[in-house]
Chain A
Amino acid sequence: MNLLIILLIPLLTAMALLFANSLKQIRFIALMGSVAQLIFSFVLFYFYRTEKNNGNTALFSFEQNYTWYAPLNINFHIGVDGISIAMILLTSFVVLAGVLVSWKEERLSKDFFFLLLFLSLGTYGFFISLDLFTLFFFLELAVIPKFLLIGIWGSGKKEYSAMKLALMLMAGSALVFVGLLGIYFNTNINGLHSFDLIQIANTQLPLAVQKLFFPFAFIGFGIFTALFPFHTWVPDGHSSAPTAASMFLAGISMKLGGYGCLRVATYLMPDAAQSYSTIIIVLAIIAIIYGAFATMMQTDLKYINAYSSISHCGFVLLGIGILTKTAINGAVLQMVSHGLMTALFFAVIGMIYDRTHSRQLSQLSGLLKVMPFISTAFVIAGLCSLGLPGFSGFVAEMTVFVGAWEKPDLFYRMVTIIACASIVVTAVYILRATGTAIMGPINNNDHLKLSDAAWYERLAAIVLITAIIAIGISPFWLTDLIGQSTDSIVNKLLNK
């Protein structure tokens, strides 16, 4: 099993796109490339499972290590564990759906799909990196295309949003980089500083170093995953982005942050994670409940989903902050679940917007009558968002709740109760949006002529819904996949 394939697929697809000379070819290549990604991530999943079932207990599988820049001991080191595979699966689902919903993108379509695939390249690279420098390299690779995607194909105040998003994410990256350098210069492995994740994990950084650099890494990555109060790029960025970019942004990019918080900040600096745990939890809880209430007041469908993403990503941070195995499992589950669900939401909102040219709740009503498929997908996304059993959201949220509840002191109890309460607020805003836009009588007679989803849109929604329901009905395969890997993180936390 060669992991480089997962980087080669998007790279080759992107290159092939440059030679395409008709819209038809562009679409075909992009679609084939994303289907290949999906197939490959399942192959990877299968091989990983086989390897684990054969009793391989190594933390990371399919490792490859090449020297990149010897003087600074920078290596191109890649490998995967259960968490990365979960993230890779998520990415490939979202990429496929994103390509499908952009089927009708005719303006500069070559550049558009090129950037989409480039973004997925950065994302895959990020998730498989075992070298902090490589990881940072791919993180940056995943930021730039977003700026262009919003700036060129966006809508509304797109320049402002693109700039805001790029600047805030860049600031996040800068913080991350400081954190990484801090780690680097405080390691000494065979007389050399090291960026190597596994090597660093096997040593123990001094507590003072951890305490100094943990905030940099955590806040830096936290900005990506809408850590309060650095979340304000989320609503503007999402709402100005074209549909596929919104899906990528919320579905994948925000997960880069969660993954980084877990894999870099918490895993490499466990003692600092313990001592900052309370602060993380408080910030996460604020994001959860405050995001939920802010969502309740939004009137634009994209803003609704963007704010609800802030609230839902709070669960990721909460799970990480609680630092128990169950909670961390929950955080990973929530990343996957939220990625799929929010991608579905944005895809559906995009479909509605393409037809009605409005995202305002006040201008939408009774869409179920004219576009039953789109409306059903919307309702499914909503039900997943409010944590209905049978969908992935329930599994993730309950795991976080049970994990948070495991700590028997009043602070954690209150935190859990507040987090649980947020799902009631979620129900309120989801039903508010559904009740207004999807149900009810049609107020605008122009809407009567609108068509339901086209085949590519249906396919996009079905791909995501299948994944959501598969996790919701049989969560055990996903928990089995990530369980072993979260064990290693938790063991690191407990090894004092």
Chain B
Amino acid sequence: MNYASYIFLIPLLPLAGFALLGLFGKKYFNESSGIIATVLILVSTLLSLYTAYNYFIAEGIINGAYPSITAFHTSWLSFSKNLSIDIGILIDPISVMMLIVVTFISLMVHIFSLGYMKGEKRFATYYAFLSLFTFSMLGLIISSNLFQIYIFWELVGVSSFLLIGFYFDKPSAVAASKKAFIVTRFADLGFLIGILLLGYYGESFEFSTLIRQLTDVQSSQSIAITTGTFAGISILTWGLILIFIGGAGKSALFPLHIWLPDAMEGPTPVSALIHAATMVVAGVFLVARLFPIFSLSEIALSVITVVGLSSTFIAAVIACTQTDIKRVLAYSTMSQIGFMMFALGMTGTENTLGYTASLFHLFTHAFFKSLLFLCAGTIIHFIHSNEISAMGGLKKYIPLTHLTFLIACLAIAGIPPFAGFFSKEEILLAAYNSNKLVFGIALLTSGITAFYMFRLYFSIFYNKQMEIQNPHSEGSFSIKFPLVVLAICSIVVGFIPFGNFVAADNKILESHLDFRFSFAPVVIGGLSILLAMYFYKNENDKPNKVASFWGKIYQAAFRKFYVDELYIFITKKIIFNFIGRPAAWIDKNIVDGLVNETARTIEKFSYMIKGIQSGKVQHYLLYFFGGIISLLIVFVYLWK
């Protein structure tokens, strides 16, 4: 199959959309810019589906595994003999899977925004940014080169920055966009150094070469990177952990998660696309992409597991206490990404279920989480507030949203037969097989997940009955259509035999769902839902009582465990006051002071000696004779 003939169109169409709308959209076709961008992304989506059909079905397995195909490859910036940034398109199971996720969710968000952003003055700009993001994300997933990923990684970051700050006259949006960019940028520092390390020792930035050379224990590159150590840990592990830091930043894992909740300042469809379904899973994708190398380092995998697991748990606890609907969803995203991450971390060489499970969860999560966000969008649109306290009894006003929201909640809570059930089940099984403690925490967290999601559900749609005068409609067709499509997806995508397509070794992984094993998670999920119903279905003061019972712990969770405060302390207090300020002071007073002092000294000196040139003949005569006398003294008396 010749993919090269069309595959490059998939990312380039959104790029064309960005260029077109960015340059001319606002002036010439502000109104129709949404349609243009949507049509372009529709074509990309169809091409992605076509690619997937060709890759998985028509071509299928060749010689026992799915092939890795480089459909396009060119040198972009060469540094030295081995090292260069190449731009390529790599087709393998995970990139094809991601192509579908990204284009499809992006298409849904494009359609949804047609109605949702209607009347926005900067409509064309919005779609330009959205197209830019889609292009960057697509470029990221089809990268064939480690540095290429970094390029698109940064571009994704900047599109996220632009979209979070879309309402740029809101100070909170500006602050949030800055925060998101700087925190991820900080994490990317690790990524960059990790790339340099792996590239230097692996003698290539190309994935295929890098993986081949580093996984072959006989190769000189592999020996160099595993025997070289720094601070007692091998260079390989350092490199991988540094790269993982980059991934953790983008994927909002603890403790680099602080930007994600604030990022909710962006338009809600953007949150659905970038901060729920696609960009934030880039870290998971990165680890999966480099998994053959990650699997060489036990320590790196343990780090991934610990970070993933702690994020999962912490985020779930915080989500129970938040009152802003989008923030609850943000923490739930963080928690679910934690699931994906630790599933990767627990993947061993012989038991590779975790890898498949992780990416399966990434896949299903994209659908139900973007659905949740889009529902949140319609709710916020309807009620003009993000706060749960302003909501209640909305079931009768927005029935379609209610239904789709419920489906998404059931999916994320892991209730069969919704999509989340299947993927989460696999993750739990993988955890069970490798570490019982991890399994325990994961099981508990999945219970908490069900609880906070249904807390949200009951608080919005039941609880106190709001009386709304002249309620406007739920939204136009372009708003309802994506909700329905995504809801259907949230039901059916779980039935996809994911192991047949994506596995750590590109072969087929026989996933056997054991329903006896599923019993415990489903029961716990169900009980959590009942608990949420008990607390939140009707208006009462039980939640407050529980909150005050937990007192300090509740407060700590509500304040997000003070991580933000810690960051502010370090940046504002320590870096600004102890590094920035002294640097500026030294420059002004010492370095520049010396320059000025030199000038002043010279000036003083010339002032002192300028008296010599007085212009009076008597003075000159005096100097003249004085000079002669001193010379005479020197010659006559001292010269011997």
The answer, yes or no, to whether B623 is at the interface (CB within 8 Å) is no
Give the 8 A-B CB pairs with smallest separation, nearest first: A297-B584, A389-B151, A293-B583, A232-B592, A439-B168, A296-B580, A439-B174, A294-B583
Contacts of B151 in A (CB 8 A): 389-390, 394
User: Nearest B residue to A404 by beta-carbon distance?
Assistant: B196
Residue interface mask B576-590, A partner, CB < 8 A = 1:
100111011001000
CA distance in complex: A325, B165 (Å): 41
Shortest Cβ distance from residue B156 to the other chain A in the assembled complex, whole angstroms: 10
Assuming the contacts A296-B580, A297-B580, asked whether A399 and B79 have C-beta atoms less than 8 A apart, the reply is yes
Q: Are B83 and A294 in contact (CB under 8 A)?
A: no
CA distance in complex: A390, B175 (Å): 25
Contacts of A325 in B (CB 8 A): 80
Q: Are B75 and A232 in contact (CB under 8 A)?
A: no
Contacts of B78 in A (CB 8 A): 476, 479
- Of A43-51, A76-84, A427-435, the one contacting chain B is A427-435
Contacts of A388 in B (CB 8 A): 154-155, 158
Give me 26 A-to-B residue pairs in the complex whose CB atoms sit less than 8 angstroms apart, sorted by A's number: A228-B591, A232-B592, A293-B579, A293-B583, A296-B576, A366-B169, A369-B168, A388-B154, A388-B155, A388-B158, A389-B154, A390-B155, A401-B192, A402-B80, A402-B199, A403-B79, A417-B193, A420-B192, A421-B189, A431-B181, A435-B174, A439-B169, A439-B177, A440-B169, A440-B171, A442-B169
The answer, yes or no, to whether A52 is at the interface (CB within 8 Å) is no
Q: Are A326 and B77 in contact (CB under 8 A)?
A: no
Q: Are B77 and A399 in contact (CB under 8 A)?
A: yes
CA distance in complex: A386, B178 (Å): 13
Residue interface mask A433-463, B partner, CB < 8 A = 1:
0010011111000000000000000000000
Q: Are A475 and B77 in contact (CB under 8 A)?
A: yes
Q: Are B182 and A427 in contact (CB under 8 A)?
A: yes
The answer, yes or no, to whether B200 is at the interface (CB within 8 Å) is yes
Q: Are B80 and A294 in contact (CB under 8 A)?
A: no
| Interface size class of chain A, counting residues whose CB lies under 8 Å from the partner chain | 35 or more
Shortest Cβ distance from residue B136 to the other chain A in the assembled complex, whole angstroms: 9
Among A232, A290, A294, max chain B CB count under 10 A is at A294
The answer, yes or no, to whether A358 is at the interface (CB within 8 Å) is no
The answer, yes or no, to whether A406 is at the interface (CB within 8 Å) is yes
Kindly list 7 other residue pairs between chains A and B, CB separation below 8 angstroms, not including A307-B587, A402-B83, A439-B177.
A293-B580, A329-B79, A403-B79, A423-B185, A439-B169, A440-B171, A475-B76
Residue interface mask A23-54, B partner, CB < 8 A = 1:
00000000000000000000000000000000
Task: Name the one of A326, A394, A432, A439 contacting B165, with C-beta atoms under 8 angstroms.
Answer: A439
Contacts of B76 in A (CB 8 A): 475-476
Identify which of residues 300-314 in chain A touch chain B, using a CB-to-CB cut-off of 8 Å.
307
The answer, yes or no, to whether A424 is at the interface (CB within 8 Å) is yes
A interface secondary structure, majority: helix
Contacts of B152 in A (CB 8 A): 389
Q: Are B155 and A476 in contact (CB under 8 A)?
A: no
Shortest Cβ distance from residue B8 to the other chain A in the assembled complex, whole angstroms: 15
The answer, yes or no, to whether B477 is at the interface (CB within 8 Å) is no
Q: Are B77 and A479 in contact (CB under 8 A)?
A: yes
Q: Are B200 and A408 in contact (CB under 8 A)?
A: yes
Q: Give the number of residues in B that approach A within 8 Å (Cβ atoms).
A: 46
Contacts of B200 in A (CB 8 A): 405-406, 408
CA distance in complex: A401, B147 (Å): 13
Q: Are B584 and A298 in contact (CB under 8 A)?
A: yes
Contacts of A402 in B (CB 8 A): 79-80, 83, 196, 199
Number of A-B residue pairs at CB separation under 8 A: 124
Contacts of B4 in A (CB 8 A): none
CA distance in complex: A388, B19 (Å): 17
Contacts of A390 in B (CB 8 A): 151, 155
CA distance in complex: A402, B170 (Å): 40
Identify which of residues 229-247 in chain A touch chain B, using a CB-to-CB cut-off of 8 Å.
229, 231-233
User: Nearest B residue to A403 by beta-carbon distance?
Assistant: B79
The answer, yes or no, to whether A134 is at the interface (CB within 8 Å) is no
CA distance in complex: A432, B147 (Å): 28
Shortest Cβ distance from residue A414 to the other chain B in the assembled complex, whole angstroms: 11
Contacts of B80 in A (CB 8 A): 325-326, 402, 406
Contacts of B174 in A (CB 8 A): 435, 439-440
Contacts of B196 in A (CB 8 A): 401-402, 405, 416
Contacts of B75 in A (CB 8 A): 476
The answer, yes or no, to whether A15 is at the interface (CB within 8 Å) is no
Shortest Cβ distance from residue A395 to the other chain B in the assembled complex, whole angstroms: 6
The answer, yes or no, to whether B85 is at the interface (CB within 8 Å) is yes
Q: Are B189 and A398 in contact (CB under 8 A)?
A: no
The answer, yes or no, to whether B468 is at the interface (CB within 8 Å) is no
Shortest Cβ distance from residue A429 to the other chain B in the assembled complex, whole angstroms: 9
Identify which of residues 72-90 in chain B touch chain A, using a CB-to-CB cut-off of 8 Å.
75-80, 83, 85
User: Nearest B residue to A297 by beta-carbon distance?
Assistant: B584
Contacts of A317 in B (CB 8 A): none
Assuming the contacts A427-B182, A435-B175, asked whether A232 and B189 have C-beta atoms less than 8 A apart, the reply is no
CA distance in complex: A231, B592 (Å): 9
The answer, yes or no, to whether B28 is at the interface (CB within 8 Å) is no
Q: Are B169 and A369 in contact (CB under 8 A)?
A: yes
The answer, yes or no, to whether B303 is at the interface (CB within 8 Å) is no
CA distance in complex: A386, B158 (Å): 11
Q: Are B181 and A440 in contact (CB under 8 A)?
A: no
Shortest Cβ distance from residue A369 to the other chain B in the assembled complex, whole angstroms: 7
Among B152, B168, B591, max chain A CB count under 10 A is at B168
CA distance in complex: A58, B81 (Å): 23
The answer, yes or no, to whether B634 is at the interface (CB within 8 Å) is no
User: Nearest A residue to B122 by beta-carbon distance?
Assistant: A372
Q: Are B580 and A431 in contact (CB under 8 A)?
A: no
The answer, yes or no, to whether B595 is at the interface (CB within 8 Å) is yes
Shortest Cβ distance from residue B144 to the other chain A in the assembled complex, whole angstroms: 16
Identify which of residues 563-611 in chain B touch chain A, using a CB-to-CB cut-off of 8 Å.
576, 579-581, 583-584, 587, 591-592, 594-595, 599
Contacts of B576 in A (CB 8 A): 296-297
CA distance in complex: A405, B193 (Å): 9
Residue interface mask A339-371, B partner, CB < 8 A = 1:
000000000000000000000000000101100
Shortest Cβ distance from residue A409 to the other chain B in the assembled complex, whole angstroms: 12
The answer, yes or no, to whether A211 is at the interface (CB within 8 Å) is no
CA distance in complex: A293, B577 (Å): 11
The answer, yes or no, to whether B186 is at the interface (CB within 8 Å) is yes
Q: Are A435 and B178 in contact (CB under 8 A)?
A: yes
CA distance in complex: A386, B161 (Å): 14
CA distance in complex: A388, B200 (Å): 22
Task: Name the one of A229, A231, A233, A290 contacting B583, with C-beta atoms under 8 angstroms.
Answer: A290
Task: Name the one of B147, B165, B595 contacting A164, with C-beta atoms under 8 angstroms.
Answer: B595
Contacts of A408 in B (CB 8 A): 200
Q: Are A294 and B181 in contact (CB under 8 A)?
A: no
Q: Are B168 and A389 in contact (CB under 8 A)?
A: no
The answer, yes or no, to whether A383 is at the interface (CB within 8 Å) is yes
Among A389, A408, A435, A441, max chain B CB count under 10 A is at A389
